[in-house]
Amino acid sequence: MMSPLSRRRLLGTGTGMALTGLLVGSGPVLAQDTAKTSRLRKPLVIGHRGCSALRPEHTLASYAKAIADGADFVEPDLVATKDGVLIARHENNIAETSDVAAHPAFAARRTTKVIDGETVTGWFTEDFTLAEIKTLRARERLGAMRPESQSYDGQFQIVTLDEIADFVAAESAARGRLIGLIPEIKHSTYFAGIGLPLEGRFIATVAAHHYLSHAPLIVQSFEVANLKQLRRDLARYANIKLMQLVGAPDGRPADFVAAGDPRRWADLLTPAGLAQVATYAHWLAPATRMIIPVDAQNRLTAPTGIVEAAHKAGLLVGTWTFRPENHFIAADFAKSADGERNPDASIAEIQRYLATGLDGFFTDDPALGRRAVDGG
């Protein structure tokens, strides 16, 4: 998989084996500032960008399908437009997920930027007003690998957090059940550096929407400083929890790099590091292969122990991301490495990971996640 800048990375054998060493031993364990997080009755099924296996990601159609298929939470990744509006895109580069390249009027806006230390070429949300963004339409990122989703290319608009909040509130009222949102604040340090900090805009949106200020809400980030800020600034909202996403152990959070902090993700995964995470976050979310690595033949090995270590520190544990195509599934279950859907294999893989004690997981196909949790 590619880096978190373009797609959350599926991490392999070396990563997992390194984690095993990091998590051995004991260290100081600090409770969170209230009490240790209570374990959940059932693991949460989180619709990754909605139901991104079957509908173009981060569209109302994708969220609707995820909710219909039993997702407990749906995920909007948040970036900003030129005029400071929060919209749902996995990255600020919209070259892969919209039809922007087909708009001659925007051809000159194709450019190259450095985002979180990586050089990226494309079209970027911060160079477009919301009105301009609304002239675009979403498209499937993985193309022909997901033919059902691809069949909807060009049909759905790019939506704002305000629109998502109203939509999920309406779905909750219609279905008679609470539906959680789990927004990710994307590229926090980068957006602050160009004068478009995301956190204040997010807090203002929460305050403006009754549903967001009362329904289950988990805010996630691959950075640390913004979660600490949000822990303080959102303290009055009892419904809001925070999730620390975790990158490759030898990498560093973007805000650490910007601040000259030499710590790596690995340093946050020691017992002492996890105890510190638990002072500001409620959840830890490493990639699937950091929990159970794969070997050179793409077969699952032994769990690393990261779930138990995080629980000991008082954290709930989620993971990202389960996908229903053979290409992404461990060889224990997949027929081959091709891109065909393999629902039964995906369910079996999820259940193997649930056995480690996970409290929630992101899946591109929430119907399969629901079956895995409910034993279907």
Domain ranges (residues) in the chain: 13-91+155-374
Can you count the helices (H) and strands (E) in the chain? 15, 13
Residue written as token pair 């100081």 = 28
pTM above 0.75, yes or no: yes
In this structure, of 34-48, 80-94, 261-275, the range with the lowest mean pLDDT score is: 34-48
CA distance 141 to 339: 14
* Chain segment 139-157, per-residue pLDDT in tens: 999 999 999 999 999 999 9
In this structure, of 2-11, 183-192, 357-366, the range with the lowest mean pLDDT score is: 2-11
* Chain segment 256-293, per-residue pLDDT in tens: 999 999 999 999 999 999 999 999 999 999 999 999 99
In terms of Cβ atoms closer than 10 Å to its own Cβ (0-12, 13-18, 19+), residue 25 is exposed
Question: Which residues, other chains included, contact 157 with Cβ-Cβ below 8 Å and sequence gap of 6+?
Answer: 59, 134, 136, 137, 138
Q: What is residue 374's three-state secondary structure?
A: helix
pLDDT at res. 30: 26
The CATH architecture that domain 13-91+155-374 belongs to is: Alpha-Beta Barrel (3.20)
